[in-house]
Amino acid sequence: MTSTEFAPGLRIAGITPPLRLTDYKLIAFDMDSTLINIECVDEIADAVGRKAEVAAITEAAMQGHISDYKESLRQRVALLKGVTLAQMDQIYQERLRLNPGAAELVAACKAAGLKVLLVSGGFTHFTDRIRDRLGIDFTRANQLEVANGALTGRMVDQAWGDICDGAEKRTMLLHTCAQLGIDPSQAIAMGDGANDLPMMGVAGLSVAYHAKPAVREQAKVSIESGGLDRLLEVMQA
């Protein structure tokens, strides 16, 4: 998709601003490196001295160089065995930060009447806290198995399936639209990695945030500098 620079560090393709925020009814966010500043799986791995190994797999997956996302996540989670819940809480408290403009964008969307969905290839240990912190309406993420206060290196199957990958993100966005009685064209999807492309592809407005090249190329809005709330520059309330 051929893009043009709308403002420094903000590119658009296939749209003519200003768009109306009130024309949309749902905004869906990826979590790691989009709504928040870290890749949680990499930081958890740091607690057992495996960050470099895990981060290399994460980067390859986000670039779209790994075809089987589920298997790549299982490999990474296996390396997390032994990390304690106390260490997980420490990561949340000391390393995890909302990305600039995250709270402002969520607040603006809620004020305009949009529902907010958080879909993550990360983990419920963090998505639940972000949900409560920002007042998010719906979430989907992976659940780490815990025994005796520590991770087992496995994930728990949930009622909807085993792993939240790109296909599941798309399914959850479409399911939430159906639940709300809206068309997917009334949804906004924001992400940074290859596993966000399926949901971005079915949403009315796709937004890349400091994203991998393949994601920037396919997004209708690409935020390449500044915070998440730069989306509001192409919107009017």
- Which residues are the active-site residues? 30, 32
Q: Name 136's Cβ contacts closer than 8 Å, sequence gap at least 6.
A: 106, 116, 117, 118, 130
Instruction: Give the number of C-alpha atoms closer than 13 A to the C-alpha of residue 92, restricted to the C-beta side.
Output: 16
Closest CA to 28 of 157, 184, 152, 167: 184
Q: Report the side by side order of strands in the sheet with 26-29.
A: 4-7, 10-12, 221-223, 205-209, 187-191, 26-29, 115-123, 138-147, 150-156
Q: What is the DSSP string of 25-87?
A: -EEEE-TBTTTBSS-HHHHHHHTTT-HHHHHHHHHHHHHT--S-HHHHHHHHHHTTTT-BHHH
Residue with tokens 């106390």: 86
